[in-house]
Amino acid sequence: MNLKKGDIWTCKEPYCAAEIEVLRAADTTCHGNFTVRCCCGKDMTLKEKAPALAETREPVAAARGANR
């Protein structure tokens, strides 16, 4: 498994719930097939990233005129 910068891994064990953030990506030649494990011994899962929100603001002048 190639670790990517910004990935957050979370422990599957509810009483532990440790998280690890990857600060530097692994080299692209790294093709390890190992599971990321927590210090408690349980497997960790990759935390889903929230989808990016699109910019939807209207220009200030248009917004002021709509409120009148």
Sequence-separated contacts (24+) of 63-68 with Cβ below 8 Å? none
Token pair for 39: 């210090």
Instruction: Please give the share of the chain, as a percent, with pLDDT higher than 70.
Output: 71
Q: Give the global pTM.
A: 0.64
How much is the pLDDT for 49? 72
**Domain boundaries of the chain, sorted by first residue:** 1-48
Chain segment 20-29, per-residue pLDDT in tens: 999 998 888 8
